[in-house]
Structure 1
Amino acid sequence: MDNLMQIAMQNVNYGSIMPSLVLCIFGMALLLINVFLPRGKTTPASWIALIGLVVTAVFAARGWGDPQFGFAGHVALDKFASFSNIIFLFSAGLTILMSDEYLQREGYPIGEYYPLILFATAGAMWMASGTDMMTIFLGLEVLSISLYILAGMFRGQLRSNEAGLKYFLLGAFSTGFLVYGIALIYGVSGTTNVADIGMYLKSHPAMLGNPMTIAGMLLISVGFLFKIGAAPFHMWAPDVYQGAPTPITAFMSAGPKAAALVAFVRILILGLDGLQGDWTSLLWVLAVLTMTVGNIIAINQTNIKRMLAYSSISHAGYALVGLVAANQIGVSGILFYMLAYTFMNLGAFAVLVLAGKKGEENLTLEGFAGFGFKRPFLGVAMSIFLISLMGIPTTAGFAGKFYIFAGAIKAGYIWLAVLGVLNSAVSLYYYLRVMVYMYFKEPAEDYGWVTLHAGAVISIIISVVGVFYLGLIPGKVMEMARMALFF
């Protein structure tokens, strides 16, 4: 027993989990600090959470050097994980910045709010760092449980209760598919280590056609595609995104989506590479379906939060195009695109936070009539984010789509890239429609005074800078994304 303990301790390397460990420490500290804060005061907690993210970023950057492995090879803080962690940290940071004013306005200054965001971010980091399916699953559960609570946190609002319950029930259902898929792959290979699974399948090519192997791959795909919000596993997203608190909707659309994507990438390319012909055919169809369904249904939406929810589905389809390509340009394009999407989508939601009234009944197209002239700063910012979401040149959205579609063309999927471009053209309609209402429609009622709270304004400014930096000077970040690849 002593020898086993000694061997186990030799495999422990806390440096490999230090970013997520720091977040958990800050999250638990915040839970204790909230006990001593005056009731209804969440501002100190928000700034402590932001400090925790900055400290975490320092430790996350250490993975850009030599990779650190720990816990018997179950965790790797490599460049792939480090780049992914930056996406998660930006997503969490921008969410926290826009949250304080929102919580005060809605009358729900809840102490657990910020710790749960930190715990969710830690779970996302475990997913990105996991080199074993059980580690990835553990991270997914920490992320999901935190999001279930955050989505339904406003217990006095029916739509928030519905969002939390619906997300929990459907999320638990999809998790069952994922666990069963992992069990089948373990039954075939005798291991849950992603790299070992890949080596086993290469050395036993006869197992590639085994029904258990194919079924395991399909079930794992269902689990991750649900978390990504890809069609036909997207039905939860519109109701949950509309009913959840707006900052949490913003957070869910970026960080957790990126976490599911990067974990899915590691499993498919490193562990199930031998089945590439099978999963690329599957994802080709689902990428087109996801892009098309998201864009077509978004056209009919009048609620802007719901429109952005369907828009998020279509953007998941664009990211899947890079995974279908499965080459360096395509996969590094996914990393670049998710960082770009974090800026442009969270920036748009930050505008909604400032523009919304209590109860958010005015977050409709009619509610935004004349908004661009009544609130010039917010109108210009919203226009920038919508233009980037369209994929117009000089913005981050264009650069991200360019790299992803270039990867698809290089891999020979020319028609997939063409369909992606056509779907981007379709999205122009519903994004431009918001701008038309902002600048060419008379407001039905006076907006009253919109207070530009510092946190949300900072979130918008950071997002605008990110959109233009990635759009005008994408080369350096794209090179970092390419260096982050593990293949």
Structure 2
Amino acid sequence: MSYSLTDIFGVLPELILVVTAITAILVDVASKGKDSSATMLVTAVGFIVSGIAAISGVGTIGVLMNGAVFQDGFTTAFRAIFCLIGFLTAIFSPAYLHFRNIRLGEYYPLLTMSVLGMMVMVGAANLLLFFIGLETMSISLYVLVSLNRTNSKSIEAGMKYLVMGAFSSAFMLYGIALMFAVVGSINYNDITNYFLADPTLGPLTIAAVALLLTGFSFKIAVVPFQFWSVDVYEGAPATVTAFMSTGPKAAAFVVFIRVFGIALHPVASHWTLLLSWIAILTMVFGNVAALRQTNIKRMLAYSSIAHAGYLLVGIVAGNHAAFAATGYYLAAYALMNLGAFAAVIIVNQRHGTDGTYRFDALKGLGFAHPLLGISLTIFMLSLIGLPPTAGFLGKLYVFSAAIETGHIVLAVAGLLNSIIATYYYLRVIVLMYMAKPEGDTTIPRPLPYAVTLIVLSVLILLIGVFPEPVISLMIAVAP
């Protein structure tokens, strides 16, 4: 089996990340683990170069590697987004990891390999390559979650994630095997053509679809398979939580669109109602549970579950405009959630805090630290879905697509849940600006955090005020 230069250049972003991970390991070994800044620099540069390579492929459409890899605009857009998430995570991680005395040697290669897995997932043109990318991402995350070996919660979170991840992977793999038994192929296009010719579902097909849906539900943390996510998000190092609640979730949703929105679209009538109920229950559970939290990290974890419900609305809507809206919302969600976690990580380093991410740590910080206060306010308003942020337009596009396709109940449920969510997001802003500070408000302010907050805040406002370039791109590239 031979590959052309076109094939090689098509997967250049992934190849660059492989080289980056190996180089980061070698640099760490050469410095005997004493120079973490060099490892971080190698990783950050690798993400930049990989992102540039991804963007350079814009406009190139085709199938590479003997039909195994999609080279389309949707793949290119999310490759670039993943590189941005990886880059920002890499630069704001050292201060936190040093603060928590977590070794950085293996952190950066694992972060790079996780992003590599995400890229493979979204570029896969068949279920097997998708599964390989999924496991590359997941295995890296299992280790990253449990990297704080002196913290029992981190170890527990790693074990929970490993066990739940293994179960979901088993469901997924069994579903892939049954789909191959039914269709005779695991290629997305072949699956679509098979069900276009024969949209009836036999027992084996129902089992295959059910197993795939179960596996995806675990990965994107929707009801009733969300139970692992909050404990894992809470126990993992905060930088890992910030990363895994954005990039991996976005990657899983992109593949969800490719599998259920495109490959299985001819039989969508069989699973649309079920997915609608899952979306509603996920929104309600995430938001109601978030209302009761006194821990910011857990609140954001439950919030992440609710946003998975909003994103499912776009997939249920099921047409090109809905997928474009979901792509826009995914990009916006990744930026605002990463920013929210980055800000919370800084807050938790406030002098005198006990490291438990209590809401009390927010009191009075809005005026004491203007950049932090303004940035966190922007992130919270965007998560609510208020103008002029990207979160507002993301929800507007998704709910509008649902209404246009006749899923009015879903759109109303999404709107009502957004109103419920307003309470716990505004609580953050109220504490920062209207509560008297307790004790010392001193917070270390390393430059990488400031850069991260500024970049993400500006991007959220830019694509909220001037959405045309991004939504036009998503309309042009959505499957």
TM-score interval for Structure 1 and Structure 2 normalised by the shorter chain: over 0.9
Map of 1:483 onto structure 2: 476
Question: Is 1:460 aligned with 2:453?
Answer: yes
Choose the corresponding residue for 2:170, options 170, 173, 176: 176
Counterpart residue type for residue 192 of structure 1: I
Number of residue pairs matched? 477
Give the distance between the partners of 2:33 and 2:116, measured in 1 at CA. Answer: 27
TM-score (norm 2): 0.96
Give the distance between the partners of 2:356 and 2:122, measured in 1 at CA. Answer: 37
1:359-396, Cα deviation, whole Å (9 max, x unpaired): 96252112222222332221221111111111001001
Structure 1 alignment gaps of length 5 or more: none
Q: Classify the secondary structure of the residue corresponding to 1:69.
A: strand
Choose the corresponding residue for 2:221, options 216, 223, 229: 229
Q: Classify the secondary structure of the residue corresponding to 1:13.
A: helix
**Pairing of 1:392-471 with structure 2 (within 5 A):** 392-447=386-441, 449-471=442-464
| CA RMSD, 1 decimal | 1.6
Choose the corresponding residue for 1:13, options 7, 11, 21: 7
Map of 2:265 onto structure 1: 273
1:103-124, Cα deviation, whole Å (9 max, x unpaired): 1111113211111111100100
Give the distance between the partners of 1:450 and 1:365, measured in 2 at CA. Answer: 15
Give the distance between the partners of 1:360 and 1:44, measured in 2 at CA. Answer: 31
Q: Classify the secondary structure of the residue corresponding to 2:70.
A: strand
Give the distance between the partners of 1:459 and 1:292, measured in 2 at CA. Answer: 31
Q: Classify the secondary structure of the residue corresponding to 2:11.
A: helix
CA contact (8 A) 2:349 2:444 kept: no
Map of 2:287 onto structure 1: 295
Counterpart residue type for residue 293 of structure 2: Q
Question: Is 1:215 aligned with 2:207?
Answer: yes
CA contact (8 A) 1:369 1:441 kept: yes
Map of 1:66 onto structure 2: 60
Q: Classify the secondary structure of the residue corresponding to 2:38.
A: helix
CA contact (8 A) 2:328 2:474 kept: yes
Give the distance between the partners of 2:214 and 2:77, measured in 1 at CA. Answer: 25
Give the distance between the partners of 1:23 and 1:381, measured in 2 at CA. Answer: 30
CA contact (8 A) 2:239 2:342 kept: yes
Give the distance between the partners of 1:306 and 1:70, measured in 2 at CA. Answer: 42
CA contact (8 A) 2:121 2:129 kept: yes
Counterpart residue type for residue 75 of structure 2: A
CA contact (8 A) 2:327 2:478 kept: no
Q: Classify the secondary structure of the residue corresponding to 1:256.
A: helix
Counterpart residue type for residue 443 of structure 2: V
Counterpart residue type for residue 66 of structure 2: A
- After superposition, the Cα gap between the structure-2 partners of 1:336 and 1:45, relative to the gap in structure 1 and judged at 3 Å, is same
Map of 2:371 onto structure 1: 377
Counterpart residue type for residue 307 of structure 1: M
TM-score (norm 1): 0.95
Choose the corresponding residue for 1:119, options 108, 113, 132: 113
Give the distance between the partners of 1:360 and 1:193, measured in 2 at CA. Answer: 51
Q: Classify the secondary structure of the residue corresponding to 1:63.
A: coil
CA contact (8 A) 2:348 2:361 kept: no
Choose the corresponding residue for 1:257, options 224, 236, 249: 249
CA contact (8 A) 1:12 1:71 kept: no
Map of 2:301 onto structure 1: 309
Map of 2:93 onto structure 1: 99
Give the distance between the partners of 1:84 and 1:362, measured in 2 at CA. Answer: 33
Map of 1:167 onto structure 2: 161
Give the distance between the partners of 2:405 and 2:42, measured in 1 at CA. Answer: 46
User: Cα distance, 1:137 vs. partner?
Assistant: 0.3
Q: Classify the secondary structure of the residue corresponding to 2:269.
A: helix
Of all paired residues, the percent bearing the same amino acid is: 40
User: Cα distance, 1:66 vs. partner?
Assistant: 2.1
Question: Is 1:186 aligned with 2:157?
Answer: no
Counterpart residue type for residue 373 of structure 1: F
Q: Classify the secondary structure of the residue corresponding to 2:252.
A: helix
- After superposition, the Cα gap between the structure-2 partners of 1:310 and 1:481, relative to the gap in structure 1 and judged at 3 Å, is same
User: Cα distance, 1:52 vs. partner?
Assistant: 0.6
Q: Classify the secondary structure of the residue corresponding to 1:209.
A: coil
CA contact (8 A) 2:349 2:443 kept: no
Question: Is 1:329 aligned with 2:321?
Answer: yes
User: Cα distance, 1:12 vs. partner?
Assistant: 8.5
Q: Classify the secondary structure of the residue corresponding to 1:357.
A: coil
CA contact (8 A) 2:221 2:308 kept: yes
> Which gives a bigger RCO, structure 1 or 2 (Cα 8 Å, sep 6+)?
1
Counterpart residue type for residue 304 of structure 2: S
1:122-145, Cα deviation, whole Å (9 max, x unpaired): 100011000110000000000000
User: Cα distance, 1:461 vs. partner?
Assistant: 0.6
Choose the corresponding residue for 1:33, options 14, 27, 31: 27
* Bigger Cα displacement from structure 2, 437-446 vs 249-258: 437-446
Q: Classify the secondary structure of the residue corresponding to 2:246.
A: helix
User: Cα distance, 1:279 vs. partner?
Assistant: 2.2
Give the distance between the partners of 2:284 and 2:94, measured in 1 at CA. Answer: 36
Give the distance between the partners of 1:121 and 1:362, measured in 2 at CA. Answer: 28
Map of 2:151 onto structure 1: 157
Give the distance between the partners of 1:379 and 1:295, measured in 2 at CA. Answer: 23
User: Cα distance, 1:445 vs. partner?
Assistant: 2.4
Give the distance between the partners of 1:203 and 1:362, measured in 2 at CA. Answer: 56
Map of 2:40 onto structure 1: 46
Q: Classify the secondary structure of the residue corresponding to 1:444.
A: coil
Give the distance between the partners of 2:281 and 2:209, measured in 1 at CA. Answer: 20
